[in-house]
Amino acid sequence: MIVLFTDFGLSGPYVGQMKARIHDIAPALPVIDLFADAPAHNIRASSYLLAAYAQAFPVDTVFLAVVDPGVGSARRLPVALQCDGRWFVGPGNGLFDVVGKRARRCEQWVIRWRPAVLSSSFHGRDLFAPVAAMLATGRPPELEPMAVELDELARLPEELEEIVYIDHFGNLLSGIRAAAVAQGASLAYQGQAIPPRQTFVDVAPGSPLCYENANGLLEIAVNQGRAVDYFGAQIGDRLALVAPVG
């Protein structure tokens, strides 16, 4: 399958145009919409979000991931990575750095293939979508091996103590994996320690809680409310880990 991870949104033509290009090459291939609302222009937050959610997909999945504010410029080259058996296709701007950092095995290639027509502003449709379709159907395009910059990956924080995503319910997803911190750890935000709980009804309606979400990230929510409004939150806001008591 091909899994889409973009900041394009669903209200315009962009995701549909990418799917159409994939369909031209691989009409029988399943295409999964994972995120169309990844943090807009925010490569750092998106890289931690993608790494967390990619883990649920089987090997041979191809992730077509585009958060590319530098599209058309002299930014780093377009890349394809194979990390623990999954493919990642998109801009070489750091979007795949956390995936590479956490992988047991990771190889990287520069995408040398180019379509007959390549717009300056929509590489997601013109370049990355065809490459993803080719890889998913076993017809790899022209790729050139490229070393993974291990020193650069080592400088990345293991966990990102920031809000990386705000979902439909107004919940605040952090870039921190619950499994990577002590059991019972919670978050502090805006000087307030958020109590760790297992699920929403463990606090009174209208009260905040911190919990491990279904994809393994620490998250802040408000029972029957919207944490984004409760706190006036924004993506990129800093969080702090609070060690468990006792």
Helical axes 14-25 vs 129-136, angle rounded to 10°:
40
pLDDT value of residue 72: 77
Which residue in the block uniquely carries the two structure tokens 């995120």?
Answer: 35
Task: Pull the structure tokens for residue 197.
Answer: 């709980």
Other CB atoms within 10 A of residue 16 CB: 12
What fold, for 2-154? Rossmann fold (3.40.50)
Judge whether 40 and 166 are in contact, CB under 8 Å: no
Within 10 angstroms of residue 158's Cβ, the number of other Cβ atoms is: 12
Instruction: Look at residue 244 in the predicted model and tell me its pLDDT.
Output: 82
CA distances from 44 to 16, 67, 134, 210 (A): 25, 10, 28, 22
Start and end residues for every CATH 3.40.50.10790 domain found in the chain: 2-154
Q: Which residue is associated with the tokens 């394009």?
A: 8
- Range 160-242: architecture per CATH: Beta Barrel (2.40)
| Residue-by-residue pLDDT tens, the chain, 246 positions | 999 999 999 899 999 999 999 999 999 999 999 999 999 999 999 999 999 999 999 999 999 999 999 887 777 789 999 999 999 999 999 999 999 999 999 999 999 999 999 999 999 999 999 999 999 999 989 999 999 998 989 999 999 999 999 999 999 999 999 999 998 888 999 999 999 999 999 999 999 999 999 999 999 999 999 999 999 999 999 999 998 876
Residues of the chain with CATH 2.40.30.90: 160-242
E-state strands within the chain: 2-6, 31-35, 62-66, 78-83, 86-91, 106-111, 143-146, 160-166, 172-177, 186-189, 192-194, 208-212, 217-222, 240-242
How many whole angstroms from its chain centre is CA 144? 25
Please, which residues bridge with residue 175 across strands?
A: 160
Residue 74: what pLDDT? 72
Res 246: pLDDT: 62
